[in-house]
Amino acid sequence: MKILLYTILICLFLIACGTAKRGEPAYAPVHASEPAIAQGQVVFNTFCTKCHPGGEAGLGPSFNDKPLPGFLMRFQIRNGLGVMPAFKEEVISDNDLDNLIAYIKTLRKAKNDKAVQAP
């Protein structure tokens, strides 16, 4: 009986530890033709994509459906919120932060463009 109970608990634990289902991205590909957008993508991939893959929910919530203006995004990135860490200027420079915000806006627009294209 104990073995059955332990087996069930281990199975539940392993199921709970699984990663979120990853399927087709919920956004259109972002073409980073502008240097600022390309640099923002590098910053995003370095610091953000672990918790917000493609701007969608992962370990952190989705921000593609939250139309925050740039100054509020800047405040949240610099000061953190909840479990999100603060990324001070020593970690992400002001110039890189501007590029990151431009990339996030481009990513959000790509998601909206894909939603419009869907049948």
Write out pLDDT tens, residues 21-76: 444 444 555 666 789 999 999 999 999 999 988 888 888 888 877 778 889 999 99
Please, where are the H alpha helices in the chain?
2-16, 35-47, 70-79, 94-117
What is the b/e burial string over 90-103, where b = at least 16 CB atoms within 10 angstroms of the residue's CB? eebeeebbbbbbbb
SS3 label, residue 69? coil
What values do phi and psi take at 8, rounded to 5? -65, -45
Q: What is the residue extent of each domain of the chain? A: 32-114
CB-based contact 99:40 (threshold 8 Å): yes
Q: What CATH class has 32-114?
A: mainly alpha
Kindly state the average pLDDT of the residues 84-93. 95
